[in-house]
Amino acid sequence: MIVPACRLTGILMMNIYRARWIIPIEGPPIEHGILAVDNGQIVQVASAHEKPGLTDSAASSIQDFGESILLPGFVNAHTHLELTCYRDQLSPGPLWTWLEQLTALRFRSEAEPLEREAVRIGAAESLAAGVTCVGDISRTGLSVEVLKKSPIRKVCFLELISGASRPPNDASTLATAFEHMAKLAEPERLVIGVSPHAVYSVVREELSAVATLAKATRAPLTMHLLETDEEVAWLARGEGVVAEVLNRHSLPNADVVIDTDVLEWLSQTGVLSGSPLLAHVNYVSDRQLDRLAESRATVVWCPRAHRFFGHANHRWRAMLSRRVNVCVGTDSAASNESLSILDELRLVRRNHPDVPPEVILEMGTLRGAVGLGLDDIVGSLKLGKRADFVKVPVNPNGDKDPVLNLLDGEKAVDGVWVDGAAVV
Ligand SMILES: [Zn+2]
């Protein structure tokens, strides 16, 4: 219901949204909540039963969503939207087989326009699923121009693979691409980041150079880390499947032996002293967990991609208990059935019913925003933050607790706002 409000106040940009529940994330759920948004910014989150600081007459519109839940837009901290075109084309199984098949698909002449369109489709799908912010990795940077046209909030990570057939393939081509893409950046809306792909695919001096670039430009940095058993074996002995893959593609790290713990390696190259966003970290020792806890790194766990690749159990709970920031990502649609963070969280909830549901929800919202360096502006419904939020109908047969109602239910997101503008 939209009620035209009194326009005599002169405040015409403020919109008030009412709903049965608001889950602000930072603070308990609010029953019969009010969310007020002025010029894209949250100016009030309160209960209708409390004396509101702002009156309805100050609003240009009031929308009452009734039996609905409003919560912050979901944050997908790890995805590759350009791979959306390879959905259902690759079978579940070991990552290395998948990667070889994916590489063959990506080297076809028609791949580039397909991937460009995939970014557009992936962003639209993400928004429809309530993902209002993505950390998206692009191999050559083609996603940036496409995502600029989408209302989704994004950190566009430019990927570096040392010696790859296409740039960025060394620190200098990455720096050039970064400089070029930085011209397309928009404060708070389109951030350019860097992504040295992984320790095995980026040589040491280039890893250092990327870490230096990230620090100098305050760009977020993400990389894949400890994703497979085979990576752990390569780190220890410089041999095995990873060495074979590197050799096959004539990549420079094929004969390298990392003669120290990989987290020490990341520390020496300057990566760990930033606030890196480390994707996967699927195979990690207690000592490495302690080292992560001493850093300001965030770990992105991708539950359904994890299952797709048949990995051993992820140690996200051990990470959380050490106060490592853990968030959730979907990885690409080439190893997942959807780009929905809510789908990920519902799976986590089903498999781990003993974990407080609030913590699970945080992993798909505020913790992802922390990992992307955007927690000052999104990730929770809080005064002063940007109004990125979603609406989900209350399941009338579900739990009375709105977080459980959301995570245990199957209701889909049916309204999405970014910067206060309805985008779905
Ligand atoms: Zn990835």
Please state the pTM of the whole predicted model: 0.95
331 CA from centroid of ligand 1 (Å): 5
401 CA from centroid of ligand 1 (Å): 34
Bridge partner list, 180: none
79 CA from centroid of ligand 1 (Å): 6
Nearest Cα neighbor of 264 from 302, 246, 291 is: 291
Per residue in 312-357, pLDDT (tens digit) is 999 999 999 999 999 999 999 999 999 999 999 999 999 999 999 9
Looking at the domain covering 2-72+379-422, what would its CATH class be? mainly beta
Contacts of 137 (CB under 8 A, 6+ apart): 78, 79, 80, 157, 159, 195, 222
138 CA from centroid of ligand 1 (Å): 10
DSSP state of 90: S
327 CA from centroid of ligand 1 (Å): 14
51 CA from centroid of ligand 1 (Å): 47
198 CA from centroid of ligand 1 (Å): 10
In this prediction, residue 234 carries a pLDDT of 94
Residue ranges of the domains in the chain?
Answer: 2-72+379-422, 74-372
59 CA from centroid of ligand 1 (Å): 43
80 CA from centroid of ligand 1 (Å): 6
Contacts of 399 (CB under 8 A, 6+ apart): 405, 408
78 CA from centroid of ligand 1 (Å): 6
159 CA from centroid of ligand 1 (Å): 10
139 CA from centroid of ligand 1 (Å): 11
136 CA from centroid of ligand 1 (Å): 9
Sheet of 131-138, strands arranged across: 74-79, 131-138, 153-160, 190-196
Residue with tokens 């004396």: 51
370 CA from centroid of ligand 1 (Å): 18
285 CA from centroid of ligand 1 (Å): 21
Q: Report, as ranges of residue numbers, the positions in the chain whose pLDDT lies below 50.
A: 1-11
231 CA from centroid of ligand 1 (Å): 14
Level-2 CATH architecture, domain 74-372? Alpha-Beta Barrel (3.20)
Per residue in 223-241, pLDDT (tens digit) is 999 999 999 999 999 999 9
300 CA from centroid of ligand 1 (Å): 10
